[in-house]
Chains A and B, each alone.
Chain A
Amino acid sequence: MSKKPSKGGAPSLDMTPMVDLAFLLVTFFMLTASFRMAEPVTVDPPSSIGDVTLPDNHIMVTIDNNGRVFFGISNTTAKIAALEKMSTKYGVKFTPEQVKKFSGLPSIGVDIKDLPRYIDATENERTNFQPQKGIPNDSLKNPQLKDWIANGGTEAVRAYTEAKEKAEAAGQELKAEKPRYAIKCDGKTKYIFVKDVVKTFTDLKIYQFNLITSLEGGGTVLDQEEKKK
């Protein structure tokens, strides 16, 4: 089946393998991509040699350089459940649409009284939302952050346990991990703000954290010693 070289005209090239590959890659990236909404605040965490990957299942408290505190839960089920508890406690009503919309939001940094308005806002309006002062963290008068963390924590653990039992009943192994508490903080933030948040956690008897940092090379002295050899 030897082909004769075509006489004249445009030389034709068999693009099939290339197209196959292109579609393969498109499919791969489409399936692996996870879309996120823009975070309400950008923080620039300091770098460290810590190379522990943040687990997918986490409760994250973000602190920006003005000391505003933002709160987010990665697990949607837990997020909705936590919102319901907060809604009962603070007497703020949410419509089912608002609850659904809330589950898709990343971290939030508004007072719970402003939360329905914040949820209804468009994405552009949210970036300039007023007042976005961070979640109130007054341990005596207005301990909203503490309540978010407490409710979010219990719900995240419950969601994890339920998923685990379900998987075990089906005879499968659960891939998800236990929820972890993460603190993401801007390098320029005064440590006193972080201290307040850590205090909130330790009051709830939570002592272990993942501090989010950007990765820097190097490693420990022993790693460096080994490299020299």
Chain B
Amino acid sequence: MAEIAEDGGGGHKKGGKKRAKKQSTKIDMTPMVDLAFLLLTFFVLTSTFSKPKSMELTFPAPPPPGPPVEIKNGITFILTKDDRIFYYKGEFRDKPNDKGPATELQELNFSQGKGSLHQFLADETKGLHDQVLAYDKQLLNKQLADTTYKRLVKLAKSNKDTPTFLIKTDDKATYKDVIDLIDELNINIVGKYVVTDLMKGELDLVNAKTGG
């Protein structure tokens, strides 16, 4: 263990006082080391490094009184029991009128492949993706400045041709479905989405589909 150099400069002469028999200065450190490792194991196992991760979301403020704001290019998702998703495009019409036929719900699912939400979103947002990818390439080739890139992407997302997604749920949908849907929207980098309340007419359509 720790040793002290005995032949340092000008050390004392031998043969003066007779020294006591050299005692070992070594201490048995085993218990201390045992304890140290015990504590180490304890702290390693109990400590949690990962702080919870989260998803930032802004809910809409209650709309001002008056007729609802018309959303152009809207796609409405309605979540219901058994992880089912329904959607319709455009405005809600309970009866056919001069703008088009009555709203009919289409179904999507959370799996991969045909008829899945993922595929649907990929198709719907293709234009935006291509645009953002092109900006990405330009950024990589240093044709765009960082700030310009951010501004352009933001602009592309808020473009009025980019669909706005409305997320509505009935009473039977679970929180997981909502998060999964928002997550899928985030994965597909859609422009705008908002979680909002279901209307009576929409609920009737969903109930007709699910039979409940």
Question: Do A and B interact with each other, yes or no?
Answer: yes
Write the residues of chain A forming the contact surface with B, with a CB cutoff of 8 angstroms. 14-16, 18-19, 22-23, 25-26, 29-30, 32-33, 45-54, 56, 63, 182, 184-195, 198, 201-202, 205, 207-215, 218-222, 225-226
Q: Which residues of B contact A207 (CB under 8 A)?
A: 58-61
* Cβ contact within 8 Å between A198 and B132: no
A222 cross-chain contacts in B, Cβ below 8 A: 129, 132-133, 136, 189
Contact B174 A211 (CB under 8 A): no
Instruction: Using known A-B contacts A22-B33, A30-B39, determine if residue A48 contacts B175 with beta carbons closer than 8 Å.
Output: no
Q: Which 10 A-B pairs have the closest CB atoms?
A: A50-B55, A29-B43, A187-B176, A210-B54, A48-B183, A46-B176, A22-B36, A46-B179, A215-B53, A189-B175
Report the bound CA distance from A55 to B32 in whole Å: 38
Question: A182 contacts B54, CB within 8 Å?
Answer: yes
Stretch at the interface among B94-102, B154-162, B165-173: B165-173
B68 to chain A, nearest CB (A): 17
Which residues on the B side are within 8 Å of A45 (C-beta)? 179
Given the interface contacts A192-B171, A207-B60, A220-B188, does A52 sit within 8 Å of B40 by beta carbon? no
A191 touches B59 (CB 8 A): no
Residues of B within 8 A of A186 (CB): 175
Given known pairs A48-B182, A186-B175, A211-B55, the reply for A218 and B47 (CB within 8 Å) is no
Complex partner residue of B54 from A26, A50, A192, A193, CB under 8 angstroms:
A50
New contact pairs (18) apart from A48-B180, A48-B186, A210-B54, CB-CB < 8 Å: A15-B33, A19-B36, A26-B39, A29-B40, A32-B47, A48-B55, A53-B53, A54-B52, A63-B175, A182-B54, A188-B175, A190-B175, A191-B174, A209-B57, A209-B59, A210-B55, A213-B179, A221-B187
A52 surroundings in chain B (CB, below 8 A): 53-56
In the complex where A19-B32, A205-B61 touch, is A191 in contact with B187 (Cβ < 8 A)? Answer: no
- B69 in the interface (beta carbon within 8 A): no
A182 and B40 CA atoms in complex are apart in Å by: 33
Count class of interface residues, chain B: 35 or more
Contact partners of A214 in chain B: CB under 8 A: 53
Q: Is the CB of B188 within 8 A of A50?
A: no
Cβ of B79 within 8 Å of any chain A Cβ, yes or no, is yes
Count: A-B pairs, CB below 8 Å: 154
Chain B residues whose CB sits within 8 angstroms of the CB of A189 once the complex forms: 174-175
Which residues in A have their C-beta under 8 angstroms from that of B177? 191
Residues of chain A lying within 8 A (CB to CB) of residue B47 = 29, 32-33
Q: Determine if A211 and B79 form an interchain contact, defined as CB atoms under 8 angstroms apart.
A: no
User: Which residues on B sit within 8 Å (CB–CB) of A226?
Assistant: 136
Q: For the complex, is B20 an interface residue (Cβ under 8 Å from A)?
A: no
CA distance A192 to B175 in the complex (A): 8
B178–A191 touching, CB < 8 Å? yes
The minimal Cβ–Cβ distance linking B162 to chain A, given in whole angstroms, is: 15
Answer whether residue B120 sits at the interface, using C-beta atoms and an 8 A cutoff.
Answer: no
Asked if B29 and A15 sit within 8 Å, CB to CB, the answer is yes
Contact with A along B111-131 (1 / 0, CB 8 A): 000000000001000000100
21 pairs from A and B in contact (CB 8 Å cutoff): A22-B36, A25-B40, A29-B47, A30-B39, A30-B43, A50-B53, A50-B183, A52-B54, A187-B179, A188-B176, A189-B174, A190-B171, A190-B172, A190-B175, A191-B169, A202-B62, A207-B58, A210-B54, A210-B55, A221-B129, A222-B129
